[in-house]
Amino acid sequence: MIPSAFSAPGSFWRGNLHTHSDLSDGAIPPAEVCRRYKAEGYDFIALTDHFVGEFDYPIADTVPFRDDAFTTILGAELHSGAMENGELWHILAVGLPADFAPSNSPQFNPIPDQETGPEIAARARAAGAFVAIAHPQWSGMTMDDARSITSAHAVEIYNHGCAVECDRADGMFYADLLLSEGRDVTLIATDDAHFEAPDAFGGWVMVKAEANDPDLLLAALKRGEFYASTGPDLRGIEVTEDEVIVTCSTASVVVVQGHGSVAPAVYGASMTRAVMPIKRLRNSPWIRVTVIDAAGKRAWSNPIRLVG
């Protein structure tokens, strides 16, 4: 079995799905955000400003910044309702229509009589968006919070802004438990850049599509035809009856994670191929691959369902 991210036709396109401009609390205008990502070799970006009344509920019009080498997907970071800790929900929505109806979210605090987080996430998905649970560790999210967002396509497994500013970048705990409970969620790495700290160009997705086109990219995201990275390239994964075979850019460690504590690994110098026996993983309903290079940078596959 070869996951569709590595068997579907097309090429991999590098993109950032979570970033802010001065339409909300970012430091630079949308045109400059797009210029910088294009200059750094990105193929696309989703500019996801904070969708609150304080900023007039912005969905940035980035269409004018598209060209033959760079494209954009419309989106926003949605806020409405309180998590269990009393703080406001943060829901990433990529692929929103430009006329997505505002919530009753005047500022960055929950208020009575507004949509809940699960409700606004469901509304975004129904409108056609790719929906992700944003920075769960940074948010202080509980597992019951995470479980409640049943409309989520993905979890932020890595958020670069949260790594830089407060060392709370991680979403792996939440993602793995949701997977073991039977949820189909994928894993994204993002920047969440605001450009007031060194918070850009640290986490991205590589999306497999036949062209660098917003609609094709969005459809591939929803199908899970991508991987996430902070540096390494994932070039192939094959699951046979006996082995998991991974090809990648040079790596020091390749790990295959599964349900519970199962996580066989291979160690080496400048590895570009790793083979792990599947024996210990046979009873896991899912597996995922992590590649770690000599600098400690990582790439993460999306989960691969083995049973169930």
Q: Which residues have CB under 8 Å from 128's CB, separation 6+?
A: 95, 96, 97, 218
Rounded to whole angstroms, the Cα distance separating 61 from 71 reads: 12
> Residue 254 in contact with residue 270, Cβ under 8 Å?
no
The total number of structural domains in the chain stands at: 2
Q: Token pair for residue 75?
A: 């989106």
Residue 239 and residue 219 share a domain: no
State which H helix or E strand residue 208 sits in.
Answer: strand 204-209
Amino acid type, 77: E
CB atoms within 10 A of CB 181: 11
> Residue 287 in contact with residue 258, Cβ under 8 Å?
yes
Can you tell me whether residue 75 is helix, strand or coil? Answer: strand
- What string of pLDDT tens digits covers the 308 residues of the chain? 999 999 999 999 999 999 999 999 999 999 999 999 999 999 999 999 999 999 999 999 999 999 999 999 999 999 999 999 999 999 999 999 999 999 999 999 999 999 999 999 999 999 999 999 999 999 999 999 999 999 999 999 999 999 999 999 999 999 999 999 999 999 999 999 999 999 999 999 999 999 999 999 999 999 999 999 999 999 999 999 999 999 999 999 999 999 999 899 999 999 999 999 988 888 899 999 999 999 999 999 999 998 64
pLDDT at res. 103: 93
**CATH number of the domain to which 241 belongs:** 2.60.40.10
Q: Token pair for residue 242?
A: 């006996």
Q: For 220-283, list the strands marked E by DSSP.
A: 226-229, 234-239, 243-258, 265-277
Boundary (domain end) residue, out of 211, 229, 247: 229
pLDDT at res. 282: 83
pTM of this structure: 0.96
pLDDT at res. 135: 97
Task: Calculate the CA 206 to chain-centre distance.
Answer: 10
Residue 85 and residue 49 share a domain: yes
Residue 215 and residue 157 share a domain: yes
Residue 150 and residue 111 share a domain: yes
pLDDT at res. 307: 66
Boundary (domain end) residue, out of 182, 205, 229: 229
Rounded to whole angstroms, the Cα distance separating 80 from 199 reads: 25
Amino acid type, 46: A
67-96: buried (b, 16+ CB within 10 Å) or exposed (e) per residue? eeebbbbbbbbbbbbbbeeeebbbbbbbbb
Residue 147 and residue 21 share a domain: yes
pLDDT at res. 298: 98
Boundary (domain end) residue, out of 229, 253, 271: 229
Closest CA relative to residue 217, chosen from 188, 176, 237: 188
Q: Which residues have CB under 8 Å from 7's CB, separation 6+?
A: none
Rounded to whole angstroms, the Cα distance separating 130 from 17 reads: 10
**Full residue range of the structural domain in which residue 291 is found:** 234-305
Rounded to whole angstroms, the Cα distance separating 300 from 56 reads: 36
Residue 249 and residue 169 share a domain: no
Pairing of strands 234-239, 226-229: unpaired
